[in-house]
Amino acid sequence: MIGWQLFAIILGVSVAGGLGSVLRLFLGRWVGKLPWGILVGNVLASLWVGVMSNSANWALAVILISGFAGGLSTFSGFAAQTVDFFSRGRITQGLLNILANLLLSSTAVVIGQALSAEMLKWT
């Protein structure tokens, strides 16, 4: 890979990651019985990964998956909130948080892949 192309990808990942992180910052404020904002961020990022996984443009996929989706999703936030539930004796909430993040995020990847495959048929 030529130096300037690598630099452009690194710059793209940085900018996209910053945008995803800012969106996560705002979503992270949405809490209730579960940390809804982090859950929504993780699911949206997973959906985005699914959509971009069929991209023919490798560089764009790297920028939008590693950058935007990487900045938007937060495994550490999910893990910390889950541990906090367990440490406060809120076992049901902790288990629901685990199930919701794993099941919904995995399902979102599958849906994203199906959506992008369908969109490719339109072109």
Query: Cβ-count burial of 28 within 10 angstroms (0-12 exposed, 13-18 middle, 19+ buried)?
Result: middle
Domain definitions of the chain by residue range: 3-122
| CA geometry: angle 42, 11, 69, nearest 5 deg | 10
Q: Which of 59, 21, 10, 41 is nearest to 105 (CA)?
A: 41
Q: What is the pLDDT of residues 75-96, one digit of tens each?
A: 999 999 999 999 999 999 999 9
DSSP annotation string for 79-107: HHHHHHHHHTT-HHHHHHHHHHHHHHHHH
The pLDDT of residue 56 is: 87
pTM of the model: 0.90
Q: In 10 A of CB 113, how many CB atoms?
A: 17
Q: What is the pLDDT of residues 42-81, one digit of tens each?
A: 999 999 999 999 888 999 999 999 999 999 999 999 999 9
* Average pLDDT score over the chain: 94
27 Cβ partners below 8 Å, 6+ apart? 37, 38, 40, 41
